[in-house]
């Protein structure tokens, strides 16, 4: 009995140590390493198998693929870390209250991920992305009439919104690949789902 308990404990210890030595980084991700002595290391680990010091270093995976920040009625606002938001309310240049839905395609700069983790943390969506997207959508929508946003100037609205978001996100290590507006409607049509 004691022999089987010893073997079981040995297997748990070996599994913990072996898992603690290796970092597997899948395709489309990079890993950042936090070292107890040196803090967040500047070097990122690219896809593959890497070694780390067990119990002394902690690895965190970050997605480097294109991320879709969806603004939709279906979004659950209770999950603050989720990539998305409820429809965003704004007032147009002609005084109309509208709700905006769409998608913003974002990607993290591989070389700035250690700085993002160090200065902002893992919840960069709640701290940086969501408040900035809300603010910039409201600002850009206030520069256009409702009919222009819905009609002929929709491309101009998307381009201006992309430029505004890039201006703020680029220095923080977040690339804006595209802004795609899907629906613009009166706030009344959104009832309680629109962010007010």
pLDDT tens for each residue of 155-187: 899 999 999 999 999 999 999 999 999 888 887
Q: What confidence tier does 18 reach under pLDDT thresholds 50, 70, 90?
A: low
Q: Worst-scoring range by mean pLDDT, 7-16, 51-60, 74-83, 118-127?
A: 7-16
Domain boundaries, the chain: 2-63, 67-190
Helix (H, G, I), strand (E, B) or coil at 87: coil
Q: Predicted confidence band at 38 (pLDDT cuts at 50, 70, 90)?
A: very high
Question: Which residues fall within 8 angstroms of residue 137, CB to CB, at 6 or more apart?
Answer: 88, 90, 100, 161
Percent of the chain with pLDDT over 90: 53
* Mean pLDDT value across the chain: 85
- Yes or no: is domain 67-190 CATH 3.30.479.30? yes
Strand spans (E) along 26-170: 29-35, 39-40, 48-51, 57-63, 67-71, 84-85, 88-91, 97-108
Which residues, 6+ apart, have CB-to-CB distance to 6 below 8 Å?
none
Task: Look at 69 and 18; give whichever has higher pLDDT.
Answer: 69
Largest CA distance in the chain: 81
* Torsion-angle region of 120 (φ positive above 0: left; ψ -120 to 50: alpha; else: beta): alpha
Exposed e or buried b for every residue in 71-85, given b needs 16+ CB within 10 A? beeebeeeeeeebbb
């Amino acid at each position: 009995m004691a022999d089987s308990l010893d073997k079981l404990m040995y297997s748990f210890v070996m599994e913990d140590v072996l898992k603690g030595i290796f970092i597997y980084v899948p395709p489309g991700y990079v890993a950042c390493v936090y070292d107890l002595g040196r803090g967040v290391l500047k070097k990122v680990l690219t896809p593959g198998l890497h070694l780390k010091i067990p119990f002394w270093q902690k690895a965190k995976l970050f997605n480097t693929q294109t991320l879709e920040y969806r603004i939709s009625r279906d979004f659950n606002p209770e999950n603050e870390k989720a990539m998305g938001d409820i429809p965003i309310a704004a007032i147009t240049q002609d005084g109309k209250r509208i709700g905006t839905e769409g998608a913003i395609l974002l990607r993290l700069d591989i070389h700035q991920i250690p700085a993002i983790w160090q200065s902002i943390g893992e919840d960069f969506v709640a701290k940086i992305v969501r408040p900035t997207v809300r603010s910039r959508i409201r600002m850009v929508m206030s520069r256009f009439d409702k009919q222009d946003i819905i009609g002929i100037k929709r491309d101009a609205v998307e381009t201006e919104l992309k430029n505004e978001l890039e201006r703020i996100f680029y220095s923080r290590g977040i690339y804006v690949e595209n802004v795609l507006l899907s629906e613009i409607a009166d706030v009344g049509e959104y009832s309680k789902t629109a962010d007010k």
